[in-house]
Structure 1
């Protein structure tokens, strides 16, 4: 303290030299001391309440940030799960399309082969329709239906070459005509 006073005196009042500084403890009346202590106590309480308020605000802000973070996390997980489900559905749809195409191709192939077989059978049958083949079939049909009767009275059935010839002629005309 002496040095601080000497520095100020040297600057503002040259020639003054401070030899010593004596500080005495003042006697403070009891009422002033109590008032001072009460004010200090109140100031301390105010500072404590301000600090508590700051701590509470920080805690609330931290909880808010944590809640926002949790909500963002849940939204991200939900989005990922939804995208996964969509991808599974799309994959299933593509698989079903492929199966449908395979089934359609198989059915078309079967239909084409049936059509080809029927057409070839029709061509073969057309080639078979000759007078000789028809005559053979006619004779076979009559032979299969022939009945043999024993007794005095024989049914009247005439198997005439003219009847057979007329039948074959009619069939031939129908085929070529």
Structure 2
């Protein structure tokens, strides 16, 4: 994501409900690897065993409340990112998942959006808006410093860039 404008994202929706926990996002039995393709091939397996075969690069997850609850595993947002998920829209995020997503460079936005699976939605992270068809939904705008981390590709890349300045 380095040098990329992440403020505007659009993609096809995959819908999930409330309390999607990190064990559902990437089951614990796959955590012994550092191979991102393994994470990607088992992402969301706990709730939709076929999700990894259906999701495409640029797709967006829209979920309910408390997305990413459970353990603090950083592998959960990594699995989603490496499966091609461009952004996650949820009514709310578990705080640790929220920060882990930013740290690994996975865009997220808190917003309640009325949509159906398969809809194409547009997200403006810079303004905190999500648009579906003719409806716009105000979400929580990410602070500039968090968007800067996302643009740089995550916290490690962001810190490397800052160290060179």
Q: Which has the higher contact order (CA 8 A, sep 6+)?
A: 2
TM-score by length of 1: 0.16
Report which of the two structures shows the higher radius of gyration computed on alpha carbons.
1
TM-score by length of 2: 0.17
More helix by share: 1
